[in-house]
Amino acid sequence: MTDVIFAVDSIPAIFAVTSDPYIVFTSNVFAILGLRSLYFLLASFVEKFTYLKPSLAFVLMFVGAKMALVDVVKVHAGVSLAVVLGILAVGIVASIIRNRRDTPEPPKANLAVRAD
C-alpha cells in the first residue's frame, strides 16, 4: 500500500517533466516497484548528509515552480534534470565538507624517543 501511495504522490512531479502518458505510466510502475527501497536509502542518507533535507526541499520548490509556470516558461527536460542533480550535488558536497570540518581529529601519538 505504501508503494502505491508513493507512486500516486509522484504523479505531479512526473507531469512537471513530461505530459507523455506512456512515460507517466511507466514511471509510476517503476515507482511502485522500487520507490520504497529508494525511500529507505534516502532515509539512511539523511543522517549522514546534513544538507540533504534542504536540498530535497529546493528540488520540490523547483518542481512546484515549474509546474505553476508551465504555461509561461518552457523548461527542457534535460535542463530540469540538470537542475535537480545540481541541487542534490551541492547539498551532498556541502554536507561532506561540514562533516569533515565538524569531525574532531584523533590525537596524534607521541612517537618521540626519549634518551635517558
> Length of the chain in residues, anyone?
116
Query: Residue 115: what pLDDT?
Result: 62
Q: Are 36 and 4 in contact (CB under 8 A)?
A: no
pTM beyond 0.75, yes or no: no
Cα 14 to Cα 50: distance, rounded to the nearest angstrom: 27
Using a 10 angstrom Cβ sphere, with 0-12 exposed, 13-18 middle and 19 or more buried, the burial of residue 33 is exposed
pLDDT at residue 20, rounded to an integer: 77
Mind listing the pLDDT tens digit for each residue in 31-43? 666 666 766 777 7
**According to the model, what pLDDT value does residue 109 have?**
63
pLDDT of residue 61: 92
**pLDDT above 90: residue 82:** yes
pLDDT digits (tens, 9 = 90+) for 27-73: 777 766 666 676 677 777 777 888 988 998 999 899 888 888 888 98
